[in-house]
Chains A and B, each alone.
Chain A
């Protein structure tokens, strides 16, 4: 038994180290100086320590500005998408709306579509509305695309809330909006937390929608901006590495804060 336990730790530990190695490498690259990398090579052991890479990626590289754009997109997207999907899920799960199951599945099917089929028309639609190359376009398209999935998950969750609670509120004279806001929504909090953490990560990490509805560098969120950084700082690997670290911080923070919700969300989020 002893050797089996040791074997397990050797195997699992080895894999973990292998998995963490690229991350460790980027972290060390990000704090090396340009001249150290240039003279000793990327693969060499670090011979310097400096935060210059972070300074450049955040300042001249536009990382700070891109981070602001990202938050300006991600926060409204998550809030709006969850609000809209929870009202839809509420109505579809708690009332006998005609064709409710069909509506739910149609909404879900919209989220399963490969985004490629939407790219050209969405870009043109945004141009037509005069919002092309604005953060508004990115917010609305991400809300629209995510809605189906969030609604599907939330209605499944809301259906498991017992009907008696709603009945009691109804007898007390509560209206639809009150029942939603005061009773059902608070009881949906675990699902909302899981979806919120996931939606934040997905929206923040998005590349495809951003480069479809945005063109100007100054409105780009972090993920597409990181690609720009790569073009701007060719072979300044300390700056590029620092940029990747900066880009990963918000999602890692959300993950650490909502770890449990995040994992259970992924298990339901099986279609993304």
Chain B
């Protein structure tokens, strides 16, 4: 949000004053979308929270079990793996895409010959679906694929691997395509942020004899504060939503080694048909995302006023 509002004129005109009676058309303008969202988002969400407290196979009526589903998680090894992998994913996917995205943006910040092409190259994967992304990478990951071929060619033949079939490497093998696609996106966010920094600040820093690192440390970084918080929210929300890429590459396997909460939740719901337990897993994801959602809303509220 901050990224765009930064360069939008601040002349937000106040809505014209009018009598407190609204035409039916206007009421419909607000109510119809609200009802649609209420019916397909808020109403199901409430049901989801309720279902988390039940056992349900989707056929017979749900039976109320209170916090039973949440208690079960403590003795569920797959849940523990999925929770741990979710944290690993948050740290690696989130951390690397933030640091990498900022590094790429700083590298490609200045308008110069060829920079448009470089940006476009790094950005291209963003428009692919995660399923297409995962298939693109599976071609390289196959035992006779390019990754192993290159390793063999540079004398690292002993590193050759069935990357997606080995429980030790599966999660990280999935992480690479996810990063490949996310980095360009974060780069665009940071490029927009860098563009908003007043060049005069750099001029002043240069006059004071600041080195490149000092300029970054004392000018760029503080100026990027609002972009950083946007990126942070994006990354956390995206990490918790990461489903497509894992589902299409490994389905959480082998032996749940690449299982994260979102894939485990989907499998529990639609393959094991344990709808109550799956809803409880969804609630855990919600709780993890809750802090970010609130922070985001608070900021949106503040900028909105």
Q: Which residues of A contact B11 (CB under 8 A)?
A: 160, 162
Pick the contact of A29: B5, B139, B148, B230 (CB < 8 A).
Answer: B139
Distance in Å from the Cβ of A208 to the closest Cβ of chain B? 6
Interface extent on A, as a size class? 35 or more
Bound-state CA distance A206–B247 (Å) is: 13
Does the CB pair A107–B37 fall under 8 Å? yes
Task: Let me know if B88 is at the binding interface, CB within 8 A.
Answer: no
Overall SS of chain A's interface: helix
Does the CB pair A271–B13 fall under 8 Å? no
Distance in Å from the Cβ of B253 to the closest Cβ of chain A? 15
Task: Let me know if A96 is at the binding interface, CB within 8 A.
Answer: yes
Q: Which of A91, A254, A267 has the most CB of B within 10 A?
A: A267
Bound-state CA distance A114–B283 (Å) is: 9
Distance in Å from the Cβ of A134 to the closest Cβ of chain B? 15
Does the CB pair A120–B122 fall under 8 Å? no
Assuming A176-B23, A230-B135, is B140 touching A270 (CB within 8 A)? Answer: no
Does the CB pair B282–A116 fall under 8 Å? yes
Bound-state CA distance A20–B51 (Å) is: 45
Task: Let me know if A103 is at the binding interface, CB within 8 A.
Answer: yes
Assuming A11-B107, A114-B289, is B30 touching A97 (CB within 8 A)? Answer: yes
Task: Let me know if B85 is at the binding interface, CB within 8 A.
Answer: no
Bound-state CA distance A156–B41 (Å) is: 22
Interface stretch of the complex, out of B164-172, B199-207, B293-301: B293-301
Task: Let me know if A68 is at the binding interface, CB within 8 A.
Answer: no
Task: Let me know if A183 is at the binding interface, CB within 8 A.
Answer: no
Interface extent on B, as a size class? 35 or more
Task: Let me know if B82 is at the binding interface, CB within 8 A.
Answer: no
Q: Which residues of B contact A252 (CB under 8 A)?
A: 124, 127-128
Residues 230-258 of chain B, each 1 if its beta carbon lies under 8 Å from chain A, else 0 = 11011001101101100110000000000
Task: Let me know if A79 is at the binding interface, CB within 8 A.
Answer: no
Distance in Å from the Cβ of A265 to the closest Cβ of chain B? 9
Within 8 A of B (CB), among A142-159: 143-145, 147-148, 151-152, 156, 159
Overall SS of chain B's interface: helix
Nearest B residue to A197 via CB reads B127
Task: Let me know if A61 is at the binding interface, CB within 8 A.
Answer: no
Bound-state CA distance A230–B297 (Å) is: 40
Assuming A205-B129, A207-B247, is B146 touching A43 (CB within 8 A)? Answer: yes
Distance in Å from the Cβ of B147 to the closest Cβ of chain A? 8
Assuming A97-B22, A120-B51, A145-B41, is B131 touching A224 (CB within 8 A)? Answer: yes
Interface stretch of the complex, out of B63-71, B90-98, B184-192, B214-222: B184-192
Does the CB pair B48–A268 fall under 8 Å? no
Task: Let me know if A255 is at the binding interface, CB within 8 A.
Answer: yes
Bound-state CA distance A9–B101 (Å) is: 18
Task: Let me know if B281 is at the binding interface, CB within 8 A.
Answer: yes
Does the CB pair B45–A117 fall under 8 Å? yes
Bound-state CA distance A181–B108 (Å) is: 41
Q: Which of B14, B26, B28 has the most CB of A within 10 A?
A: B26
Nearest B residue to A167 via CB reads B16
Distance in Å from the Cβ of A183 to the closest Cβ of chain B? 12
Other 19 A-B pairs with CB < 8 A, given A88-B30, A116-B285, A247-B129: A9-B114, A22-B140, A43-B149, A88-B33, A101-B301, A103-B34, A107-B37, A143-B36, A156-B4, A156-B5, A156-B304, A159-B12, A163-B15, A226-B135, A244-B135, A252-B124, A263-B123, A267-B188, A271-B234
Residues on A lying within 8 angstroms of B by beta carbon are 8-9, 11-13, 15-17, 19-20, 22-23, 25-26, 29, 41-44, 84-85, 87-88, 90-97, 101, 103-105, 107-125, 140-141, 143-145, 147-148, 151-152, 156, 159-164, 166-167, 170, 175-177, 180, 201, 204-208, 211-212, 222-224, 226-227, 230, 237, 240-241, 243-244, 247-248, 251-252, 254-255, 262-264, 266-268, 270-272
